[in-house]
Structure 1
């Protein structure tokens, strides 16, 4: 757990979280806003890259982690959330840990990646056999499957959520939670310990209750896991999820 947040703050008395989100991603902040307790504030920075190639762009987001944290200047953060699963999948666990640990030591606060948060939540659920559904092109889905198998999980099934332009990962941001729900329905009977909806750019919260009902097993999304593990480090819990009527 991180040290207690500064109760003298007007905003973020229970915690101030930095959030790094891919440059064109509109989903992370929207879902964090709905998940974090009222006394926890988040301050976002964009993960930026001029690389035209999607693979190179995702890798650069994590390779430039120190630059992203430096963009906060002297702002006092209690922790930082790196909200891009694809970067971790492509770099691999060892390289991710090296960059994250180096940045945390340099800036003096914990750095949590989305993949780390997902793994922690799966461990809490004692889930070893998982289903993976993600809006990834084949090369990124393969990297994700390899990542989770490398972390000791059995990926019993995998399914792509179709995106408009398969070669362009930014088209993930055109999806809705209804697309995630449709993919879960199409997956059929999931005989697993947990369902992972990977990808911070795919909205899930509006359909999460319906997804849970269809899946019949615990459901994790990247943003849900990341926000949950972040507030846990502050000694808090997530805000109740809104009902569809809200």
Structure 2
């Protein structure tokens, strides 16, 4: 199912919580564009205790530790589910994320889980991965995909620790070119991981150019929310 197909399905509006890293400006821009009025997004910001924005170990663990407080901010709302809109925090701290969300009265789904769910529905078991992350973080994601039965045919990263919202479409296209033709040919899908860089235009461009499934963290969250809403309201 594509985002367009999910959106065109008439169904009640879903109310969804989103936990957003405190310096992320992209999530709140892209999700409503894909939601097409069928999802109402309610946001709570994740502020790491150390007060930084650079993507490193302290920042990622700080986001996870901030999850309970962010969930509390949303606790008075009647929500279908909540999304952790930081892909890297999820796949680098899977066990801790499970611990801090264990008491939540509403299901918490990470961006990483949403990507996996979309790949599974589309039967995509091999992907080419592009990210803005430092290379060591991208390498962890490659391993986490492999542990869940998804082979990464090739990966490329910008090596950035901050400033993801400023990444351009040309930079993303060049990053895909770095993968190499063979890695792209072998892949069932191209994944643009990270909720902090804009991917809507890149997905449109790359789908036309590569003629295969292209998704991103924010696209996967939106599709997962719309699909879950249809199931919930049946």
Report the Cα distance in structure 2 between the residues aligned to 1:178 and 1:99, rounded to whole angstroms.
Answer: 38
Please state how far the C-alpha of 1:50 moved relative to its aligned partner: 3.4
The match for 2:32 is 33
Report the Cα distance in structure 1 between the residues aligned to 2:42 and 2:211, rounded to whole angstroms.
Answer: 35
The answer to whether the Cα contact below 8 Å between 1:20 and 1:68 also exists between their aligned partners in 2 is yes
What's the CA shift string for 1:195-245, capped at 9, x where partnerless? Answer: 111011111102322111233321110000011101111108xxxxxxxxx
SS of structure 1 residue aligned to 2:230: coil
What's the CA shift string for 1:111-163, capped at 9, x where partnerless? Answer: 1110111111111111111111000102211111111112122111010135x
In the alignment, structure 2 segments of 5+ residues that lack a partner are: 1-11
* Shift >6 Å, 4+ stretches: none
What's the CA shift string for 1:157-197, capped at 9, x where partnerless? Answer: 010135xxx4xx22222213332222123333212111111
Cα separation, partners in 2 of 1:39 and 1:160, compared to 1, 3 Å:
closer
Say whether 1:89 aligns with 2:91. yes
The match for 2:158 is 161
In the alignment, structure 1 segments of 5+ residues that lack a partner are: 1-12, 237-246
Report the Cα distance in structure 1 between the residues aligned to 2:125 and 2:144, rounded to whole angstroms.
Answer: 14
The answer to whether the Cα contact below 8 Å between 2:128 and 2:179 also exists between their aligned partners in 1 is no
The match for 1:181 is 173
The match for 2:7 is none
The root-mean-square deviation of aligned C-alpha atoms, in Å, is 2.0
Instruction: Report the more deviating stretch, 59-68 or 224-233.
Output: 59-68
Cα separation, partners in 2 of 1:150 and 1:95, compared to 1, 3 Å:
farther
TM-score, scaled to structure 1: 0.80
Please state how far the C-alpha of 1:73 moved relative to its aligned partner: 4.6
What's the CA shift string for 1:57-86, capped at 9, x where partnerless? Answer: 112212332111101251222211110011
Could you say which structure has the higher helix fraction?
Answer: 2
Aligned residues: 215
Please state how far the C-alpha of 1:98 moved relative to its aligned partner: 3.6
TM-score, scaled to structure 2: 0.84
The match for 1:201 is 196
Selected match of 2:229 from 234, 237, 240 = 234
Report the Cα distance in structure 1 between the residues aligned to 2:227 and 2:187, rounded to whole angstroms.
Answer: 25
Report the Cα distance in structure 2 between the residues aligned to 1:160 and 1:48, rounded to whole angstroms.
Answer: 25
Say whether 1:67 aligns with 2:100. no
The answer to whether the Cα contact below 8 Å between 2:130 and 2:157 also exists between their aligned partners in 1 is yes
Report the Cα distance in structure 2 between the residues aligned to 1:39 and 1:126, rounded to whole angstroms.
Answer: 26
